[in-house]
Amino acid sequence: MKCPHCMQGIHESWTMAAHLGGDRDGDWRVLQMVCPECRRFIIRVERQVASAVEDRFFAHPRAPLRSPLSEDVPTEYANDYREACVVFSESSKASAALSRRCLQRLLREKAGVKPGNLSDEIDEVMPKLPSHLADAVDAVRNVGNFAAHPLKNTNTGEVVDVEPGEAEWLLDVLEGLFDFYFVQPELLKRKRAELDNKLQEAGKPPMK
Ligand SMILES: [Zn+2]
């Protein structure tokens, strides 16, 4: 399996941390292992019925279903995104509301759009994005059926009914925008610094 913290491929080796006993829903146990790569605890809860595992979920980390964000994503955005991931399995409505609010904040603070409703802000940012990302952001309105749920447009953080796939789509769009605004520029900056170092070592002037 992949470690839900660091996403490295690891061998599963669980030890039973606690056998809680049985209730009318089944037999409960807590399993733990330490990731050999990142040395962090992975904790899982299992419920068995007639010796067969009926239910199994991660207690820690809570949101292992998506890759971790790059360190280049500023904390204030990364926190909102992580929260949206954590609540996702319990409530896609709440997750979508957190993501929508995070998207709006990113558009206003990073992309510099004029604050308005989310739909107008999306219109404003689209020409500034590569076309695949522009299409993805544009689709937020269709996937979320803004026409039927106008609150998504005017009060982005409002918890309202979601359409199928909407909450996941918002997380995908946020990931794409984080990559565009934070991860790629930093990556190129680091590569450029490396190149300049090499040029300097070779006694040549830095890149223009
Ligand atoms: Zn790990």
51 and 109, same domain (yes or no): no
CA of 82 to the centre of ligand 1 (A): 17
Q: Give the global pTM.
A: 0.71
Q: Please, what is the end-to-end C-alpha distance for the chain in angstroms?
A: 45
Contacts of 127 by beta carbon, 8 Å cutoff, 6+ apart: 134
Instruction: For residue range 35-61, list pLDDT tens digits in order.
Output: 999 899 999 999 999 988 888 888 888
pLDDT of amino acid 63: 63
Q: Report the separation in Å between the CA atom of 166 and the middle of ligand 1, taken as the mean of its atom positions.
A: 29
Measured CA to CA, the distance from residue 59 to residue 9 in angstroms comes to 20
- The predicted pLDDT at position 207 comes to 79
Say whether both 81 and 176 belong to one domain: yes
Q: State whether residue 125 is helix, strand or coil.
A: helix
Q: What percent of the chain has pLDDT over 90?
A: 71
1 in any annotated domain: no
* Band of residue 143 on the pLDDT scale cut at 50, 70, 90: very high
Q: Domain of 40?
A: 15-60
Name which residue leads in pLDDT, 208 or 27. Answer: 27
In 3D space, the residue among 12, 10, 11, 3 whose CA is nearest the CA of residue 67 turns out to be 3
Same domain, 175 and 79: yes
Is 2 a member of any domain? no
Q: 71 CA to middle of ligand 1, Å?
A: 16
Residues within 5 Å of ion ligand 1, judged at the Cβ atom:
3, 5-6, 35, 37-38
16: which 2 tokens?
Answer: 């039973």
Residues 153 and 176 in one domain: yes
Phi, psi of 171, deg, nearest 5: -65, -40
Quick check: is 166 in a domain? Answer: yes
The reply to whether 153 falls in a domain is yes
- Tally of domains in the chain: 2
